[in-house]
Amino acid sequence: MYWGTHACLPVLTVTTIDTLRVSRQQPRLITNKQLWLIALAALLPDILSPHFSIADRHSSWTHTLWFLGGILPVILILSKWLVKTNWQWLAFYCYLASCIHVFLDGIAGGVSFLYPMEGVFGDYYVPWKYWIYSDVGFILMTRLMLFILNRKVKQQRLD
Contact residues for Zn ion, defined by CB under 5 A: 45-46, 105
Q: Based on CB atoms, which residue is closest to Zn ion, 46 or 135?
A: 46
* Cα(22)–Cα(156) distance, integer angstroms: 8
Cβ closest to Zn ion, residue 10 vs residue 45: 45
Give least dist CB 97 to Zn ion, A: 12
Side-chain half-sphere of 82: how many Cα atoms within 13 Å? Answer: 19
- CB-wise, 55 or 158, nearer to Zn ion? 55
Q: From the CB of 27, what's the least distance to Zn ion, in Å? A: 33
Measured over the CA atoms of residue 49, residue 52, residue 57 and residue 58, the dihedral's sign is: negative
**Half-sphere exposure of residue 113, counting CA atoms within 13 Å on the CB side?**
15
Closer residue to Zn ion, CB minimum distance, 9 or 30? 9
Taking the complex as a whole, how short is the minimal distance between the CB of residue 157 and Zn ion, in angstroms? 39
Residues in contact with 27: Cβ distance below 8 Å, sequence separation at least 6, in sequence order: 21
Nearest distance from residue 46's CB to Zn ion, in Å?
A: 4
